[in-house]
Every structure is written in structure tokens, then in C-alpha cells.
Amino acid sequence: MPTCLKCQSQFEITQDDLLFYDKISPIFNGKKYQISEPALCPECRQHRRLAFRNERNLYKRPCDLCKRNIISIFSRDAAFPVYCQKCWWSDKWNALDHGKNFDLNQSFFEQFAEVQNKVPKMAMLGANTENCDFCSLIADCRDCYLVFESSNNEDCLYGYWLQQCRDLVDCNYVDECELGYELENCRNCYGSGFLQNCRNCDNSWFLNSCAGCSYCAFCTNLSQKQYCLWNEQLKKEEYEKKMAELNFGSYKELSNLKTKFADFNKHQIKKYAQIENGENCIGDYIFNAKDCYRCFHANDAEGCRYGEHVWRGAKFCMDCSTAGRGAELIYESINAGIDDFNLQFCAQAWNGCHDFLYCQNCFSAGNSFGSIGLRHNQYCILNKQYSKEEYEQLVPQIIEQMRKEKSWGEFFPVNISPSVYNETAAQEYFPLEKGEVLKNGWQWRDLQIEIPKVEKIIPAGKLSILDDIKKVPDEILKWAIECAETKRPFVIQKLELEFYRKMNLPIPNLHPDIRHANRIKLRNPNRLWRRKCDSEGCDFVFESSYAPDRDEKVYCEACYLKKVY
């Protein structure tokens, strides 16, 4: 087995991996240019890709074309121009104006970085949105605020990976849910809060790994139940009486209930992985998928390997961080989707891009190498236009040069990412200190905390005045709240206040970024270990995202279903 050049761990390259590399290797003039085997293990490959995606850090800055003040994922000191969406899609500029002749005596990545620093970037990545100025990596959304990596949503706030949802606050990895609070990995739920790994549940609170439940609270591992409390079956009247005695609108009482349920849930059995309707799948958080190997968060996908966020028709994608909506034959890329085909080593390519090698931020383009910001272009190298014949003559020469440098078949190096390391998703999943980042030769920025312009800031030590949602005045919309953990102030949105009142929930005392981080901690890591089923008398060994040294009792699927259902 090869040894990862970064973490020095040994990793496997399977026969199926080799067949995939051979299948996607480009052919020019009748000769195949074989994709090299990766030098990094799957986890380090993911780490490198995520350093090219800023998901949640937003900045106020002017558009470099129209000069209008905008919100952007790129700060004022970005090395390249940043345009608002209207300007980026306009005909006032052309990506080919920044083209460069390829120099066979200079490193490809050095030349790519030179072009990257000239081509305008879109301030916020998104398509077909309305009133979603503070959201990025979204599509087909309306009236959303601080929602990221999501599509087809309305009236949602503080969310990550929401799909076809409405009226949600503080939710991650949620599909087809409505009127929900603090949902994590849930599908088709309604009027509920504090649910994790649940589907088809409604009017319920504090559930984990439940399906088809209504009017249940503080329960785990239930199916098709009503009026259950702490996993005990009650009559309707008894359930309603006990629930009426609880005041979720009190922050203090709600916090105590959260702690009590967390302790209760910790002692319940766990299924080895969150896989449902997964045929021949290994990984976690998989739904309606087939032949997916070591994938995490795979929905409606087929034949994908070593990926996270492969969804909605993604087929035969490998080493991808977000690929979907019909994406096919994508390798070592991040954010590919909407009918993209045959892309290798790309970042942010949407709307039918095809036959790309080492391209970024392109839409509806194809047959290009090392280009940025293309729109409907073909046969471009470093943003310079070539004929088909010229293109097919030059690309093999570039590949041969990259082979000599041992960079062919590897994703972009982190040091040329358009975002600094600590503002990318890499810092969230692979946190590093500033000294470590700089030692690696990567970029770091000391992020500035902006103080909101409000009438007053409520200190963290005096948040008790907001303990009861029924007593919270409308004036709170003119105030800021100091985060109890970081002291970073944050504001409450009008739609958000209306939601808390409707759901009888207290005003939060933690900054949205901290709440997001806490929800991420609820999920198991994107990593697998071999361990034995903890059910007595069962010796079945499986691969699970529960590390062997964890305290939970983890069951194989057969034992879990036998125990729960």
C-alpha cells in the first residue's frame, strides 16, 4: 500500500480505483494520458479540496466594476477583482482578456495563479435567488439569511445544506422539512425541534434516530409512534398534560432539558451508520444510493467513491466535495454540478461544463485546461483561445511537463487557493493554528470582528432578561446580543423573532457561527473504523464512523433492526 506524502499513513488504492483512473484519463490525438495514482490518502485529498471553498465568512466590500457596496466571500484585500453577480454576468468584461501564453519552462500552477489573480471572481456563488444577499453557494432560494450550500428553500435562517425546505432556523443537512428548529440530518419533518437523524416526524421535540413519529418528545430509536415521552408510551391526554408543564420558551429550562436529553441519548444503542436504501454502500449519511464506497452524505447517487455531498443524480464521481444535479465522471473536484460531465481537478464549475482539466469558476463551458471564469467558451488554455487542433497539440505538452514536476494527477496546491486557509471549510473540518498554516506555506488572515451599529449591546452576563420569549420586546431588533462563549455580538432578524414567537422558543445566547459549529459536532467524522457489533452474541465486523474507543453501544444493521423494530 502507498504511503500518504502528507500524513505518512498507509492507504489503499483498489482495483476499482485503478479502473476509474483509466476510464477518465484524457485522450489526445489517439493517445491516452494516464491519470496518475494519488500521492495523498483520501482524507488528505479532502483536506486539500476544502481549502478552496469559503462557505461562511462574509465581507462588506465594493464591487470592483460598478463600485456598489456588496457582500462577498472575498475580502477587500483579495488579490483579484471581485464583481457583484450582475456585473459578473454582464458583457462588460471577458475572461479571455486575461489570457496568457503557456510557458513550457515554467510551472503550470505558477502560471495558473498568475491568471487567477487577474480574472474577476463572483462575489457570492449562487443562481436564481431572491432576497438572499447574505447567502452563498445557493440556488433557487428566496428570503433566506446566512444559509449556505443549499437550494430550493424559502424563509430559512442560519442553515447549512438545506434542500427544499421552508421556515427553518438553525438547521444542518435537512431535506424537505418545514417549520423546524435545530434539525440535523432530517428528512420530511414538520413543526419540530431538536431532531437528529429523523425522518417523517411531526410535532415532536428532542428525538434521535426516529421514523414516522408524531407528538413524541425526548425519545430515541422509535418507529411509527405517537404520544411517547422518554421512550415511554402515554395516552394522548397524559402526554399533552406533561408537555404543557414544560416551558421551551425559557432559555434556562430549555438548556436543562437539552442537557438531560443528551445524557439520555448517550446511553441508547446506535446503528453502525446512517444508511437507508443504500445498495452496496459503505460510508455514512447515505440515502437512496447505489455502489457508493467510502462516501459521506450521499443522496440519490450511484457509483461514487471517496466523496462528500454527492447527491441528486451524481454518477461515477470520485474524490469530490459536492457534486450533483446530474454531475457525472467528476474526479478530484469541489463544487461541480448541474449536468457537468468529465471534469478533473476543478473548482466551482456549473451548468453543463464538460471535458475540463484544472479549471475554476466556469459556467456552461467545455474542452479547456487551466482556465478561470469561462462562460460558454471552449478550447481555452490559461484563458487564451485556441482552435481545436491547436488545443489538442498543446495540452499533451503541458501534461508531460506536469509529469516531470510530479504534479499531474494532483489537485491545486493549497497555497494558491483564492481564500485564506482559516476562512475555508478546511479550517472547520481540519482545524490548524496560525503557526501551522504559515509553516505549510499557506495563507492566513487575522479575521476582524465587526461590531454591529445598534442602539445597545446586551452583555453576555445579562442575558437573563431575554430568558422568556413572551417578554422579549420588539426593540430587540435594534439591539445586539453578546455571545456567551466568544463575546462576539450578533443581531436578531425580524423573520427570526417571528419564528421564535411562533414556536415558543427563547432568543439564543450564542453567535450563529458557534451554533453552527455545535451542530457540526453532533455528526460523526467523515472517517471509518473497523469494529465489532456490540450486541451480545454477534461477532459481525463492519466499518463505522464510530471510533472503537467511543463509549456508545454500536450495533450492526441486523441487530439494530431486531432491537428497535
Report the alpha-carbon distance of residue 124 to residue 87 in Å, rounded.
Answer: 12
pLDDT digits (tens, 9 = 90+) for 102-129: 999 999 999 999 999 999 999 998 888 9
Residue 465 is predicted with a pLDDT of 67
Report the alpha-carbon distance of residue 380 to residue 356 in Å, rounded.
Answer: 10
Report the alpha-carbon distance of residue 71 to residue 519 in Å, rounded.
Answer: 25
Amino acid at the residue 311:
W
Q: What share of the chain is helix, strand, coil (3-state, %, to 5)?
A: 25, 30, 45
**Are the beta carbons of 41 and 7 closer than 8 angstroms?**
yes
Domain boundaries, the chain: 529-564
The C-alpha cell of 145 is what?
439569511
Residue 126 is predicted with a pLDDT of 84
SS3 assignment, position 183: strand
Three-state secondary structure of 71-133? EECCCCCCCCCEECHHHHCCCCCCHHHHCCCCCCCCCHHHHHHHHHCCCCEECCCEECCECCC
Could you say which residues of the chain have pLDDT below 70? 463, 465
The C-alpha cell of 156 is what?
430559512
| Residue 434 backbone dihedrals phi, psi, to 5 degrees | -55, -45
Beta bridge partners of 490: 481
Q: Cβ-count burial of 548 within 10 angstroms (0-12 exposed, 13-18 middle, 19+ buried)?
A: exposed
SS3 assignment, position 44: helix
Task: Report the candidate in 419, 285, 413 with the shortest Cα–Cα distance to residue 427.
Answer: 419
Ordered strands of the 157-163 beta sheet: 126-127, 136-139, 145-151, 157-163, 166-175, 178-187, 190-199, 205-208, 217-220, 228-229, 232-233
The C-alpha cell of 184 is what?
440535523
Q: What are the Cα distances from residue 217, in Å, to 205, 235, 258, 273, 506?
A: 5, 13, 12, 23, 18
Tell how strand 282-290 and strand 275-279 pair up: parallel
CA dihedral 37, 43, 49, 52 (to 10 degrees): -150
pLDDT digits (tens, 9 = 90+) for 444-485: 999 777 788 888 999 887 767 678 898 899 999 999 999 999
Residue 407 is predicted with a pLDDT of 96
Q: How far is CA 49 from the centre of its chain?
A: 12
Three-state secondary structure of 386-446? CCHHHHHHHHHHHHHHHHHHCCCCCCCCHHHCCCCHHHCHHHHHCCCCHHHHHHCCCCCCC
**Are the beta carbons of 299 and 175 closer than 8 angstroms?**
yes
| Residue 293 backbone dihedrals phi, psi, to 5 degrees | -115, 120
Residue 210 is predicted with a pLDDT of 98
Report the alpha-carbon distance of residue 70 to residue 59 in Å, rounded.
Answer: 8
Determine which helix (DSSP H) or strand (DSSP E) holds 172, and give its type and residue range: strand 166-175
CB-based contacts of 10: which residues, under 8 Å, 6+ apart?
Answer: 1, 2, 3, 4
The C-alpha cell of 160 is what?
447549512
Residue 285 is predicted with a pLDDT of 97
